[in-house]
Amino acid sequence: MADLATTQRKDQTEPARLDPYQIRADFPILATVNRFGKPLIYLDSAATSLKPQAVIEAVDGYNREYSSNIHRGIYELAERATGAYEAARAKTARLINAPEPAEIVFVRNATEAINLVAYSWGRHHIGRGDSIVLTEMEHHANLVPWQLVVQEKDGDLEFVPVTDDGLLQLDVYEVLLHLRPKLVAFTHVSNMLGTVNPVREMVEMAHAAGALVLIDGAQAVPHAPVDVQELGADFYVFSGHKMLGPTGSGALWARRGLLEAMPPFMAGGDMIREVHLRRSDWNEIPYKFEAGTPDISAQIGMGAAAEYLMALGMESVRAHERELTRYAMEVLPREVPGIELYGPAAELRGGVVSFNLPGIHPHDVAQILDRSGICLRAGHHCTMPLHERFDLAATARASFNVYTVPEEIDALAAGLRDVVRIFDR
């Protein structure tokens, strides 16, 4: 099983060590306290990450200094806005080593990116009896769009099962590829189990079977080096709000040839070259897929987030989160009686730890922890089929980022012990 960090170049030396205590000073929200007077302990980064000052200032700078539409006006404010927007596209491309910025399509989030591919590529290439291969660990965003496509086109969905340890059964995957699927779509990192999937190996297998590959990178891009050229996938999607950027920002990367062949996802202003009463000619990529006025400030903020992460060094980010995950998986079973952890060993996962306390609903766990300022997710994490696979109604989930420190994991363990004591009374 390949680790996320295998996407880094082999000639690199040991990554520089991050100082999360210094990094925390970049995140103003960490200075806040809750209604009980407790400082914020944010362990829900897999849902939405916090925003550093650099991102906040980038968004505020657009709104204060050059708020204007893009790709339209020829006055100074408009040209400055257009320049900042396209600079954000270039930064996003550098973050994932895309061959060119034009292959980055800005969207609101990874969900919209997957829907774009499903509607623009899927509805034109999936026909009666054609199959799409997914996995049991997919986020709903990488499941429901494909359900709609195969229902409309009378196609089929096939699923790679998950082992009890939270790993994909690659022997079954190999068998499913004998069906000659048109598309294989799977997550880079599971948002519930934390499993880091062997993307490059799976892509090579899919291509050998004649399938295109879409990767959901929402839980990978913020946390480790991602090189789309090295991974070899055809489509790669991710969200800005999970990588220290604003909500309403995200990106689809796809190979130029695919984007040029795909029809528009939405129609309107900016995605056209010429419009006549009875026909229109489409704009060049990526603008063909960016109809109407986008959330300009959010995408500028996403560019600032990409720049911030690259300055930290993604190898260093991955090393920091690997240490935190290892620490959490050592401390929680030792310090919390009866806790049940789900997913693979620490070295095979990203910075996500899902768990349950027997006999205590995760919603109760999260609500009690909130009194201590601890924020974590409770529910099915948009992975209901995966919870069904493990016969779980819900789980609690702690997830980490560059601003997470070991003391917060200690506080989580102490808070969980309190939860156990409360329910044992």
Residues carrying an active site annotation: 382
Amino acid at 178: H
What amino acid occupies position 320?
A: H
**115/164 Cα distance (integer angstroms):** 30
Between the two ends of the chain, the Cα-to-Cα distance in Å is 44
CA distances from 185 to 131, 149, 182, 204, 234 (A): 11, 13, 10, 13, 10
Contacts of 5 (CB under 8 A, 6+ apart): 224, 225, 315, 318, 319, 322
**Residue 55 CB contacts under 8 Å (≥ 6 apart), including other chains:** 244, 245, 246, 301, 304, 305, 308
What is the Cα–Cα distance from 126 to 1, expressed in whole angstroms?
31
Long-range contacts of 90-93 (CB under 8 A, 24+ apart): 90/303, 91/303, 91/304, 91/306, 91/307, 91/310, 92/251, 92/302, 92/303, 92/306, 93/253
- DSSP per-residue letters across 93-113: HHHTT-S-GGGEEEESSHHHH
Q: Could you list the beta-strand ranges (E) of 152-246.
A: 156-160, 183-187, 212-216, 235-239
Q: At a CB cut-off of 8 Å and minimum separation 6, what does 278 contact?
A: none
